[in-house]
Amino acid sequence: MLIVHDGTTKAHIFNPSGDCCIRVCVLPYFLLMGRVADLVMFNFQIKLNIKMWGFHTLYGIMRLVDRFKEAFGVPSEVKYNTVLFGGLIGSTFSLLQFVSSPLTGAASDRYGRRPLMFLTTVGLISSYILWAFSHSFTIFLLSRVIGGICKSNVSLCTAIMADLPQPKARNKGMAMIGVAFSLGFTFGPLMGAYFALRPKESDLFYQGPAFLALGFSAVDLLFIFIMLPETLHKDNKAHQMTSKIQELRDLLNPLALFNFTAVTRTKEIPSEQKIKNLKVLGMVYFTYLFFFSGLEFTLSFLTHQRFQFSSMQQGKMFLFIGIVMALIQGGYARRIKPGQQIKTVRLALILLIPAFLLVGIAWNLILLYTGLFLYSFAAAVVVPCLSAQVSEHGTAGQKGVVMGILRSLGALARALGPIVSSSVYWLTGAESCFFIYSVGFIAPLALLSRLDRQKNE
């Protein structure tokens, strides 16, 4: 039993085998509410931006797009313009997470997980309040900036799971995060479709999803305040906050992130072999999410343009994906034994190649849903397995930095993936885009073979 202080007069007792461990493992399901809120917002986001910007602003942007098309000889397909425009919006939120995740992780290593979880959740609440009462695009954009910065609480959640002492408990905790995200992936788009289909009787029709997101975040805050223990023992807290210019560069420079430089500058430097493994795992994580997030983002556009899916049909499609993911994560992923994660990731990456090829060429719903089933398996296991594998590297006081860097690499991939894939989709069409990106999954597979060679050496 560890008595852990969070900087206040009250001590929070963390018993890894007792009630506190249960409360820690329940945390992902409270973060699920935030994930649902994000996905509800995503279904609204593009329509809101167009409505708030007004015709003249949108017309100016489309003129720039048309000039670019004329300069490069791109075929004039208006339906593809929405893909490009959506990709730009979809990348912005993840770019903010890329900046905030490693800084929040480093701060949690110094001040504890619980205070930072509380602070980021308060930030999310403030962003949803701004969203609910925004009467202009500027205020709405400000709310999304605050929300993007504060979504670093997801990396804090993985750091909390990484604090669990037993590898089996850590693996289950990471799997539970995956289950929570799958459930959010299931219900979020359905709720978004519901709000999108409601009559838009006033300019404030977007207040419904905003207040829903606000309510979910308020429940999160209440859970953190009442039930969440501090999982980082005071003896494991970093002695100095990463405030020097060089240390900040380590956390914001992409090259330094890929090299996990912030970890190597700590007093307890991991072994050379662990650093090599971290670099490879970081590259695998980045390349996987780069290709995956790109195709994931364009999926809605493809089904709408090829099969004329309505908002509700899109919601049902994501419901299918979410149910399959939840079943796989609840029944299979959480039972993956330590040491078997890399093998599982390799299998999932292999399945992704035919999955997206089928989706890209699908001319009927049978082919589409066959590809989506394979896609769901990979989506269910890759991130939890890689997170569990990475959490085994670094000391107890470094896990916040390590998991923050990993989350930041993922955010960078999700920032670049949608805009690049949307551009490829816009330039070449759906079939070519999905073919190119499907072949791209060979890259993380090749990187995993490097990990095997390092183990043999």
SS (H, E, C) 25-85: HHHHHHHHHHHHHHHHHHHHHHHHHHHHHHHHHHHHHHHHHHHHHHHHCCCCCHHHHHHHH
- Give every CB contact of residue 275 below 8 A, 6+ residues apart in sequence: 260, 263, 264
Which residue has better confidence, 178 or 283?
283
Of the ranges 167-171, 215-219, 365-369, the best mean pLDDT one: 365-369
Query: Which has more confidence, 432 or 297?
Result: 432
- Where do the H-state alpha helices sit in 153-271? 153-163, 167-197, 207-226, 245-252, 254-258, 261-264
Residue 358 near residue 199 (C-beta atoms within 8 A): no
**Domain formed by 17-232+269-456, architecture:** Up-down Bundle (1.20)
* pLDDT at 299 > cutoff 90: no
Residue 306 tokens read as 């090829």
Half-sphere exposure of 230 (CA within 13 A, CB side): 26
147 pLDDT exceeds 60?
A: yes
What percent of the chain has pLDDT above 70?
67
Position 284 confidence tier, pLDDT thresholds 50, 70, 90: very high
Select the more confidently predicted residue: 140 or 202: 140
Q: Are 439 and 424 in contact (CB under 8 A)?
A: no
Q: Nearest 5 degrees, angle CA 397-CA 402-CA 405?
A: 140
pLDDT over 60 at 142, yes or no: yes
CA dihedral in degrees (198, 200, 202, 204; nearest 10)? Answer: 60
- Identify residue 101 by its one-letter amino acid code: S
Q: Is the pLDDT of residue 190 over 80?
A: no
Q: SS3 of 3, please?
A: strand
Average pLDDT rounded to a whole number, residues 392-401: 72
Is residue 260 left, alpha or beta, with left meaning phi > 0 and alpha meaning psi from -120 to 50?
Answer: left
Say whether pLDDT at 45 is over 60: no
The per-residue pLDDT for 11 is: 40
Question: What pLDDT is attached to residue 173?
Answer: 72
pLDDT tens-digit map of 328-369: 877 787 778 877 889 999 999 999 999 999 999 999 999 999
pLDDT-derived band at 199, boundaries 50, 70, 90:
low
Using CA atoms, how far apart are residues 25 and 157, in angstroms rounded to an integer?
A: 10
How far apart CA 270 and CA 267 sit, in angstroms, is 9
30 pLDDT tier (thresholds 50, 70, 90): low
pLDDT at 10 over 60: no
The pTM assigned to this predicted structure is 0.71
pLDDT of residue 453: 61
d(CA 67, CA 360): 28
Structure tokens at 147: 């929300």
Q: In the predicted model, what is the mean pLDDT of the chain?
A: 75
Q: Cα 407 to chain center, whole Å?
A: 8
Parse the chain into domains and list their residue ranges. 17-232+269-456
Query: Highest mean pLDDT: which of 380-384, 434-438, 446-450?
Result: 434-438
